[in-house]
Amino acid sequence: MNAAGIQSPNETAMDGNAAGALLRQVWDLNCQKVARLHGSALMVRTAEGHYVLKRHAEHCTPNRDGLARIYAAVSAAGLSPAMVTLPNGGVFWEGGGCLYSLQVHGVSCAKAPTPAATGEWLARLHDCLAAVEGAPVANHLDRLVPDVPQGADEYCLTEATPFLGEAESLHRHRQPVHGDLHRGNLLFTAKAPLAIDFDSATGSHPALDVGFAAYRLFGADPDAFRGVALAYTKSRPEAGVSPRTAALMLLHAVVQRIVFILRTAAKGDGQWLYDLDRQQRYHRDALSLVNHSQRCSM
């Protein structure tokens, strides 16, 4: 319970009843139906329309102002659903140690865009994020696993090791990025995708988002992966994104996640082990894309 006596969905794992209670008491909306988008994001239907209810990760609370500026910018640019403001003018309600937000969610039924359209959309997103002052400069993974090459050696990810130094060198060219673009964090509309869940926003090379989104949307298809990167570069040539840099940053991100899972488990916390097999598959695919990009550049 918070000071006002409102139960936080964090206390009941964001189930439908708790989400409905929060909507009524904080936003004065009556919930009719709840569906899980992913993790801690719910799609809720009310008489007034559809919304995305998001419980933000605990690490977001200290930088709530920076996160609010991101949402304001991307919503104004039509790259993310509009935020529902609270009576005090803010966009976050705090309870149970976490932040909660509500975004207007038009019913999305469109297919994922083509690789070329995806690259163009990512360029628009990054142009918008680059102008946000006070955006997060490191997400939770960057803070918990700052030493990715060392972690790769620690857990014998030897095939990736030769490429991680090259990926780390790209971090000299940082800007705010989303940090976790996949189908669960994108709403596909007839006009364009809309990004949600900026909890993993960080300062990194823009190739991180390009590589991650290209892979998570189109799999290990090297032609589609290349198409996303080249379309991005056509729209934003100054960013230094190529199929090669996108593949390197994808590999770096996947290795970082694997090291995080294994280190956390070694400390007795196995809650992330369910994701290990999937990340290991991503690791194999990312290596394949790196090797393909290397052959194509010769």
Residues 36-52: pLDDT tens digits? 887 788 999 998 999 99
Q: What pTM did the predictor assign?
A: 0.91
Residue 176 has pLDDT above 90, yes or no: yes
Q: What are the CA-CA distances from residue 132 to residues 214, 275, 294 (Å)?
A: 24, 32, 34
Residue 71 has pLDDT above 90, yes or no: yes
Residue 138 has pLDDT above 60, yes or no: yes
Q: What is the mean pLDDT of the chain?
A: 91
The residue among 75 and 10 whose pLDDT is bigger is: 75
Pairing, β 186-188 against β 49-55: unpaired
Give me the pLDDT at residue 3, please.
Answer: 34
Question: Do the Cβ atoms of 133 and 69 come closer than 8 Å?
Answer: yes
Q: Which of 56, 262, 55 is nearest to 140 (CA)?
A: 56
What are residue 33's DSSP bridge partners?
45
Give me the pLDDT at residue 14, please.
Answer: 64
What whole-number percentage of the chain has pLDDT above 70? 93
Give me the pLDDT at residue 297, please.
Answer: 67
Give me the pLDDT at residue 107, please.
Answer: 64
Residue 99 has pLDDT above 50, yes or no: yes
- The CA distance from 69 to 133, in Å, is 8
Q: Where are the domains of the chain?
A: 9-104, 115-296
- The CA distance from 132 to 176, in Å, is 8
What whole-number percentage of the chain has pLDDT above 90? 75
Helical H runs in the chain?
16-27, 64-76, 115-130, 140-144, 148-154, 161-169, 207-218, 222-235, 243-266, 276-296
Region 231-241: mean pLDDT is 98
pLDDT band at 108 (very low <50, low <70, confident <90, very high): low
Give the domain 115-296 fold. Answer: Aminoglycoside 3'-phosphotransferase; Chain: A, domain 2 (3.90.1200)
Give me the pLDDT at residue 128, please.
Answer: 98
User: Edge-to-edge strands of the sheet including 31-38?
Assistant: 31-38, 41-46, 49-55, 98-104, 93-95
Give me the pLDDT at residue 109, please.
Answer: 66
Residue 7 has pLDDT above 80, yes or no: no
Region 283-290: mean pLDDT is 98
Domain spanning 9-104: CATH superfamily: Phosphorylase Kinase; domain 1 (3.30.200.20)
Same fold, 9-104 and 115-296: no
The region of weakest confidence among 13-27, 57-71, 131-145, 233-247 is 13-27
Give me the pLDDT at residue 4, please.
Answer: 36
Residue 5 has pLDDT above 60, yes or no: no
Q: Which of 282, 111, 260 is nearest to 211 (CA)?
A: 282
Region 59-78: mean pLDDT is 93
